[in-house]
């Protein structure tokens, strides 16, 4: 018999965070999170997302052993401002036991029904900067620090319990050697001259900080038309600024401004920390931090985390400026593989942007939906 208990204490929350370590300990593809970082994500006093969201965390037990977990999430900005009566759920992991996954999903459904929400969707996080989607294809590729990895049997559980596909995400990669500078070098000069644009490159994190709020404003503006988008609030901007910006190589952040120094485009690329995180195995100390610092400096794989272009400049070739700057940076650093984060299947524009690089879709993931009525 499966028992589901709500997490009530810090020690139970740590068990929630550490559960995946037990079911993926032998996987060469799973990338463990930093345990303390995950704990902070779920800390209502530290993560500003809880100013507009709430979450309940559940652990499933069978024969006295933890066999599953799930976070039940309501984003009130989404529910009240966008009128999307959605019950979110994420951090959903379980052994291959249909009784376990059913019991956890029932807890999520109960909370959604209590709040008179219309449907539940997952796996998703609190916002658009969180991880998203259950992996349905590409299980033999290493994960990243910004995606969930899961066993192939997860998809069977969703569909067995009556969930249907809501959104599909594609993950693509290409060799840096595929980047032909002839494609964007000339366009780069033409676009800069035509629209009076210039690039901003950075030598250190201090130089970036004055631009970060503008970057998040542009992020909100760029992605607002996509389904399920939830804007980043001012408080969240400060949180992400302190937590992540100093962790990214400054030369991997590119901004494009107009003649009035107004931000019209940005891109953020991160070195791949996947193998470093596997070596760290959830802990920064005593040696984990050194693995991460080494990867930051020497990783030959990079992840295109975010690209945002002001709506007034979309489809005007601004990406040629961005590509030209990254080409120079990547060539200098000896980058080999370029990996893109999950992109909505419906986002045709983003795929068109990368078509000259001969990308390969190596992973697919989905969110699943079920009515609560």
Q: Say yes or no: do domains 2-170 and 175-363 share a fold.
A: yes
pLDDT at residue 128 in the model? 80
Q: Which long-range contacts does 238-241 make (Cβ < 8 Å, 24+ apart)?
A: 238/48, 239/47, 239/48, 240/129, 240/216, 241/209, 241/212, 241/213
pLDDT at residue 352 in the model? 87
> How do residues 225-272 score in pLDDT, each as one tens digit?
766 678 888 899 888 888 888 778 999 999 999 999 999 999 999 999
pLDDT at residue 348 in the model? 86
pLDDT at residue 245 in the model? 83
Is the four-CA dihedral 336, 338, 339, 345 of positive or negative sign? negative
| CATH architecture of the domain with range 175-363 | 3-Layer(aba) Sandwich (3.40)
Contact between 55 and 42 under an 8 Å Cβ cutoff? The reply is yes
Identify the burial level of 214 via C-beta atoms within 10 angstroms of its C-beta, where 0-12 means exposed, 13-18 middle and 19 or more buried: middle
pLDDT at residue 227 in the model? 63
Instruction: Return the domain boundaries, the chain.
Output: 2-170, 175-363
Q: Which long-range contacts does 175-182 make (Cβ < 8 Å, 24+ apart)?
A: 175/336, 175/337, 175/338, 175/358, 176/330, 176/331, 176/335, 176/336, 176/337, 176/338, 177/336, 178/357, 178/358, 179/323, 179/327, 179/330, 179/338, 179/357, 180/356, 181/324, 181/327
In words, the CATH class of domain 2-170 is alpha beta
Classify residue 129 by its DSSP letter. T
pLDDT at residue 228 in the model? 64
Using alpha carbons, select from 116, 357, 98, 144 the residue that is nearest to residue 271: 144
Residue 195 CA to residue 310 CA, distance in Å, equals 13
The alpha-carbon radius of gyration of the chain (Å, integer) is 21
Instruction: List the chain residues with pLDDT less than 50.
Output: none
Other C-beta atoms lying within 10 Å of the C-beta of residue 281: 14
> How do residues 44-63 score in pLDDT, each as one tens digit?
999 999 999 999 999 999 99
How high is the mean pLDDT of the chain? 95
Query: DSSP string spanning 281-313?
Result: TT--TTTHHHHHHHHHHH-SEEEEEEEEE-GGG
């Amino acid at each position: 018999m499966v028992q589901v208990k709500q997490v009530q204490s810090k020690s139970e929350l740590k068990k929630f965070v550490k559960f995946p370590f037990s079911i993926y300990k032998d996987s060469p593809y799973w990338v463990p999170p930093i345990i303390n970082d995950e704990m902070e994500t779920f800390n209502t006093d530290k993560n500003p997302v809880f100013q507009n969201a709430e979450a309940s965390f559940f652990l499933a037990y069978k024969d006295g052993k933890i066999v599953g977990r799930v976070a039940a999430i309501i984003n009130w900005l989404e529910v009240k401002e966008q009128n999307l009566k959605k019950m979110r759920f994420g951090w959903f992991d379980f052994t291959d036991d249909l009784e376990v996954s059913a019991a956890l999903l029932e807890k999520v459904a109960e909370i959604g029904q209590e709040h008179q929400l219309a449907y539940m969707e997952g796996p998703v996080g609190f916002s658009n900067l969180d991880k998203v989607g259950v992996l349905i294809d590409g299980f033999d590729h290493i994960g990243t620090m910004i995606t969930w990895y899961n066993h192939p049997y997860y998809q069977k559980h969703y569909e067995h319990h009556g969930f249907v596909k809501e959104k599909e995400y594609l993950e693509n990669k290409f060799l840096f050697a595929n980047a032909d500078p002839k494609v964007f070098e000339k366009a780069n000069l033409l676009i800069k001259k035509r629209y009076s644009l210039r690039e901003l490159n950075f030598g250190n994190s201090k130089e970036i900080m004055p631009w970060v709020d503008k970057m998040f404003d542009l992020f909100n503006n760029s992605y607002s038309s996509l389904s399920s988008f939830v804007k980043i609030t001012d408080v969240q901007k400060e949180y992400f600024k302190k937590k992540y910006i100093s962790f990214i190589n400054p030369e991997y952040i590119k901004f494009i401004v107009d003649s009035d120094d107004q931000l019209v485009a940005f891109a953020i690329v991160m070195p791949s920390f996947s193998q470093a995180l596997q070596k760290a195995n959830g802990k920064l100390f005593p040696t984990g931090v050194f693995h991460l610092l080494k990867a930051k400096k020497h990783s030959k794989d990079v992840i295109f985390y975010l690209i945002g272009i002001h709506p007034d400049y979309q489809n005007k070739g601004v990406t040629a400026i961005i590509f030209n700057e990254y080409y120079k940076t990547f060539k200098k650093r000896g980058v080999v593989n370029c990996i893109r984060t999950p992109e909505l299947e419906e986002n045709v524009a983003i795929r068109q942007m990368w078509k000259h690089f001969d990308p390969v879709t190596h992973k697919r993931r989905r969110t699943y939906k079920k009515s609560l009525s």
